[in-house]
C-alpha cells in the first residue's frame, strides 16, 4: 500500500508539552519517490507539483496540525505581480517590491533570490491555478491569493 500525502502519525505528549514521535509505535516501511518535510504552503505546493508529475509523495509534519507557518499567518501568501493581481486591476513594479523588501529586510536582502522570486512567482501561481484552481480568499480589492 502506498502512503497518502499525509502520514498517519499521532504525536505523543511528553512532560515538556512538546510533540515528539513515539518511534517504537510509529515506524513504517514504505518507499516513495519524494518526501516533503512540512505541510505549510511551500511543502504542500512541492507535494502537489511532485504528485502532478506522477511521483509517489509523502508529506511529513512534526505537529498535530497541517499548515505550518502558513496556518499561523492566516494562510495568505504574497506573490508580487501574480495573474490575479492584474485581473483585479493592480500591478506591482519590481522597484516598489525591492523598496518594500529592503525596508523590511535591510542589508540581509539577497538580490538574486528576490529576482528569482519575482521571476518565478507569477509563473508558479499560473501553474497552480491551471492545475489545481487556486481560491482567492479576500484582501484589498480581491488581489491576494
Residues 115, 132, single domain; the answer is yes
Q: Give the tens place of pLDDT for each residue, 35-93.
A: 999 999 899 999 999 999 999 999 998 888 888 888 887 777 888 988 888 788 888 88
Domain count, the chain: 2
pTM: 0.66
pLDDT of amino acid 30: 83
Residues 66 and 8 both lie in one domain:
yes
Do 58 and 104 reside in the same domain of the chain?
A: no
- Domain identity same for 105 and 127: yes
Q: Is 88 exposed, middle or buried (0-12, 13-18, 19+ CB in 10 A)?
A: middle
Query: Are the C-beta atoms of 66 and 6 separated by less than 8 Å?
Result: yes
The CB density around residue 33, as the number of other CB atoms within 10 Å, is 12
Q: Average pLDDT for residues 119-136, to the nearest whole number?
A: 85
Q: How far is CA 52 from CA 5, 30, 35, 48, 138, in A?
A: 12, 20, 15, 6, 27
- Domain that residue 111 falls in: 76-145
103 and 51 share a domain? no
Q: What pLDDT band is residue 27 in, cutting at 50, 70 and 90?
A: low
Amino acid at each position: 500500500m502506498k502512503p497518502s500525502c499525509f502520514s498517519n502519525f499521532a504525536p505523543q505528549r511528553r512532560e515538556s508539552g512538546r510533540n515528539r514521535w513515539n518511534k517504537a509505535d510509529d515506524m513504517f516501511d514504505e518507499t516513495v519517490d519524494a518526501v516533503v518535510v512540512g505541510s505549510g504552503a511551500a511543502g504542500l505546493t512541492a507535494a502537489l507539483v511532485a504528485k502532478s508529475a506522477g511521483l509517489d509523495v509523502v508529506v511529513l509534519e512534526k505537529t498535530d496540525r497541517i499548515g505550518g507557518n502558513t496556518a499561523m499567518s492566516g494562510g495568505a501568501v504574497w506573490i508580487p505581480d501574480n495573474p490575479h493581481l492584474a485581473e483585479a486591476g493592480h500591478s506591482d513594479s519590481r522597484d516598489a517590491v525591492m523598496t518594500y523588501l529592503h525596508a523590511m529586510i535591510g542589508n540581509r536582502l539577497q538580490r538574486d533570490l528576490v529576482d528569482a522570486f519575482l521571476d518565478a512567482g507569477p509563473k508558479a501561481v499560473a501553474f497552480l491555478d491551471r492545475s489545481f484552481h487556486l481560491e482567492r480568499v479576500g484582501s484589498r480589492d480581491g488581489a491576494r491569493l
